[in-house]
């Protein structure tokens, strides 16, 4: 009788172990799956045919951020070379904006705080009001937000250049509109760009849940080779 009981107990233990093991494998499996998530590549693409070693190879060319050359808050030139090999987040704002910018900046502070130890990450905030937002004003603004001005930079350029860059490079909109509070209309997107300067995601910079998603996607992008 006692022997039988012992046997049953043993069996129970074995079953319980196997259930635990299966659950564990399942969990590990799902973890692996989530880290293998690939972010989409946004924008136009063209197939380019090349002949390499006598063989026809079709290569996909993705749209990248067009050439830009702007000044940061410390009057340092910032261009495509500055962010080469790094991932970055871009946004468009103006310091006197009474509507969505303050909340965008509060959300960007969270992104900055999370990645500020990581030299593979850059944040570029572009002013769309270059007349009012002078370089000294941008420097003060950066300082007040607690940004170091190296990893999180505040960029200044001629209005035409910045607006074209917003629309053609980052799928964002920026325009002068006297009927809007503050005098400008612009989108509140945070645009995630990869190491090859391709846009990989656009997030609503006024939504905490969207910005949470951005930070998860940045981790995914950082692991990408």
Partner 1 sequence: MRVVVTLIVIVFFAACMEAPNVNMQHVAHGQQLYETHCVNCHQQDGKGIARIVPPLLNADYIVQNRNLLPQIIRNGMHQKIVVNGVMYQQKMPSNNKLTDAELTALVNFVEFRFAKSTQLLSADSVTMLLRK
> Which residues, at least 6 apart from 165, have a Cβ–Cβ distance to it below 8 Å?
65, 66, 68, 126, 157
Question: Taking a C-beta distance cutoff of 8 angstroms, is the pair 167, 174 a contact?
Answer: yes
Q: Which residues bind partner 1 (CB under 8 A)?
A: 95-96, 98-100, 102-103, 105-106, 109, 140-141, 143-146, 181-182
Q: Which is nearer to partner 1, 59 or 177 (CB)?
A: 177
Nearest distance in Å: CB 98, partner 1:
4
Shortest approach of partner 1 to residue 175 CB, angstroms? 19
- Write down the least CB distance from residue 118 to partner 1, Å: 21
Are 163 and 175 spatial neighbours (Cβ–Cβ below 8 Å)?
A: yes
Q: Smaller CB distance to partner 1: residue 161 or 207?
A: 207
Of 34, 15, 13, nearest in space to 23 by CA: 15
Between CA 189 and CA 170 the distance in angstroms is: 9
Question: Where do we find the tokens 């299966």?
Answer: 22
HSE of 35, CA atoms in CB hemisphere, 13 A:
9
As measured in angstroms, the least distance from the Cβ of 139 to partner 1 is 13
Distance (Å) of CA 12 to CA 6, 9, 18, 114, 163: 10, 5, 10, 46, 69
Q: Whole-number minimum distance, CB 188 to partner 1, in Å?
A: 11
The span from the CA of 200 to the CA of 192, in Å, is: 6
Any idea how long the chain is?
Answer: 225
Is the CB of 18 or the CB of 143 nearer to partner 1? 143
Min separation Cβ 102 and partner 1, Å: 4
Query: What's the min distance (Å) between Cβ of 212 and partner 1?
Result: 17
End-to-end distance of the chain based on CA atoms, in angstroms? 63
Give 59's strand partners.
48
Q: Which is nearer to partner 1, 113 or 158 (CB)?
A: 113
Cβ-based nearer residue to partner 1, 145 or 185? 145
* Pick 109 or 135: Cβ nearer partner 1: 109
Q: By C-beta, is 105 or 198 nearer to partner 1?
A: 105
């Amino acid at each position: 009788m006692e022997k039988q009981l012992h046997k049953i107990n043993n069996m129970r233990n074995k079953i319980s172990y196997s259930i635990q093991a299966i659950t564990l494998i399942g969990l590990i499996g799902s973890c692996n799956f989530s880290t293998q998530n690939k972010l989409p590549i946004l924008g136009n693409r063209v197939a380019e045919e090349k002949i390499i070693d006598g063989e026809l190879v079709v290569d996909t060319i993705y749209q990248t951020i067009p050439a830009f050359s702007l000044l940061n808050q410390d009057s340092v030139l910032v261009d495509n070379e500055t962010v080469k090999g790094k991932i970055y987040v871009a946004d468009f704002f103006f310091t006197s904006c009474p509507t969505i910018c303050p909340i965008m900046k509060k959300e960007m502070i969270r992104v900055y705080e999370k990645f500020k130890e990581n030299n593979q990450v850059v944040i570029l905030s572009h002013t769309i009001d270059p007349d009012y937002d002078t370089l000294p004003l941008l420097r003060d603004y950066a300082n007040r937000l607690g940004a170091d001005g190296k990893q999180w930079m505040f960029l200044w350029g001629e209005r035409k250049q910045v607006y074209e860059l917003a629309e053609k490079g980052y799928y964002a909109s920026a325009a002068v509109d006297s009927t809007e509070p503050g005098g400008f209309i612009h989108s509140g997107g945070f645009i995630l760009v990869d190491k090859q300067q391709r846009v990989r995601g656009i997030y609503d910079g006024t939504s905490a849940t969207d910005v949470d998603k951005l930070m998860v996607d940045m981790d995914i992008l950082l692991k990408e080779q």
